[in-house]
Amino acid sequence: MKANTETRPLYPQRPMGKWHNRRVAFSTAIIALLFVVPFIRIDGQQLVLLNVLERKFIIFGVFIGPQDYWLFGLSMLSFFVFIVLFTTVFGRLWCGWACPQTVFMEMVFRKIEYAIEGDAGKQKLLDKAPWTSDKILKKGLKYTLFLIVSFAIANLLLAYVLGVDELYKIISEPIQDHIGLFSGIIIFTAIFYWNFAWLREQACTVVCPYGRLQSVLLDRNSINVAYDYERGEPRGKLHKGTHRPEGDCVNCFQCVSVCPTGIDIRNGTQMECVNCTACIDACDTIMDKVGFDKGLIRYTSENAIVKKTTKVITPRTWGYAAVLVLLWSALGFVVATRTDTQTTLFRAPGSRYIENADGTVSNLYTFKIFNKTNKTIVPSISLDAPHGKLLFAGSPDLTLEAAGMSEGTVFVIIQKSELKSRKTVLKLSVSQGNQRLESFETTFIAPEE
Ligand code: SF4
Ligand code: SF4
């Protein structure tokens, strides 16, 4: 049978060296963190929850519900500006070190592949070889492990999106009770499997929008994995014992062989480069062997190569930093002044005041109370000033489920003697037990004296 090599266009060599060891340690910590965080709870709720379906988020214990549009908008804007600032200064550090796609691809899936099929040369030979029992065993084992890891990642994703409790229910209760969510796990397992087994580096080079933004975000001072062409060019093979007029690049192509996205870093900064550092290690090994200084490929900037300057902070960086400080200040203010509930209370449309026989005046209002927390609240509304009373229509149950809402109508009844003008500002509050959750105002209309 003819082997299909179309699905594996790239066979990067196994990376090894100082930078790779650092990345292994960092990636191990990231993977451990990713799997541990959903199980950490603060005050009974998950430390991080990203329920995009219901627009409920918990970021380090701060619940952001559908009503927190200010908080949500400012958080998103701050996150976006932070990404821009970070990328302008540090280039694609995120891609190489912390992006889950790179971390799982390079540190889990590719490690499995190297362990079972061997290095790049052996993988290529195996793909071209006929389907012997050895090949079936190796491929079967590899793809089974890929499937198991994809299943684990799909569960991890749902632990962040739906929460660990919901995920536990799907696992522990009969499948037919959660057929939709169980199908979700299977679909995500298939997507991750397809991504890591076939799509691979194309997720970064073709699909990821962040990679495509690089040309806009990077400038000549951004730090990136870069080839020092001032030192390396003109490149040429090394001939021992002869004078070398060329630069330090000995044209060994080791930097190209290890590149998981298949590019040649010597062609300059490219959108496909995920800053994985594999070419730094490969080139340093060669430099060591030929007796040249290491660092022909290194973390550096275009200006550092050409002008030998190490300036990182530019006016553009200061500008982004200033915007970020403003946004974070606004975010801090919104978080500090945030209340657990948000109540709207307006006079019922078309209604007028009612003069009662007992010398009181009534106004009819409709109200809505939104719960901005992730816990059940049993609120009560009270009139703080002026003196008067509230009469709810139909004794409604105001209990608010997590991120829920309750509504109703209420008469506000006030003695005429308390009303000094046609329009009076009412001060009201929402409490739970003795705890005041929110204060707000509305207007009350009375007849002209
Ligand atoms: S060019 Fe170097 S840093 Fe960039 S992806 Fe290839 S090996 Fe990684
Ligand atoms: S590994 Fe270094 S020496 Fe070899 S081709 Fe790449 S840049 Fe040149």
pLDDT at residue 428 in the model:
96
Q: Which amino acid is at 75?
A: S
Ligand 2 atom nearest to 279, measured from its CA? 1
User: Of all atoms in ligand 1, which is nearest to the CA of residue 225?
Assistant: 3
Q: Say how far apart CA 253 and CA 320 lie, in whole Å.
A: 38
Q: How far is CA 168 from CA 47, 101, 164, 264, in A?
A: 17, 25, 6, 46
In contact, 7 and 116? CB cutoff 8 Å: no
Q: Is the dihedral of CA 152, 153, 156, 161 positive or negative?
A: negative
C-alpha to C-alpha distance for 226 and 102, rounded to whole angstroms? 19
* Displacement of CA 306 from its chain's centroid (Å): 35
Q: Which amino acid is at 238?
A: L
- CB of 367 closer than 8 Å to CB of 345: yes
Of 273, 280, 296, 300, the one to substitute when testing ligand 1's pocket (max ligand atoms within 8 A of C-beta) is 273
Q: What is the pLDDT along the chain (449 residues), one digit of tens a residue?
A: 333 444 456 899 999 999 999 999 999 999 999 999 999 998 888 999 998 888 888 888 888 888 788 888 899 999 999 999 999 888 899 999 999 999 999 999 999 999 999 999 999 999 999 999 999 999 999 999 999 999 999 999 999 999 999 899 888 888 888 898 899 999 999 999 999 999 999 999 899 988 888 878 888 889 999 999 999 999 988 887 777 888 999 999 999 999 999 999 999 988 899 999 999 999 999 999 999 999 999 999 999 999 887 777 778 889 989 999 999 999 999 888 889 999 999 999 888 899 999 999 999 999 999 998 888 999 999 999 899 999 998 877 889 998 889 999 999 999 998 888 899 999 999 999 999 999 999 999 998 76
**Residue 221 and residue 206 in contact, taking contact as beta carbons nearer than 8 Å:** no
Distance 256 CA to ligand 1 centre (A): 8
Tell me, in angstroms, the distance from the centre of ligand 1 to residue 298's CA: 11
Using DSSP bridges, classify how beta strands 360-371 and 341-347 pair: parallel, antiparallel or unpaired: antiparallel
pLDDT at 404 (0 to 100): 87
Look up residue 422 and give its two tokens: 């046609």
Provide the whole-model pTM.
0.83
Q: What pLDDT score does 1 carry?
A: 36
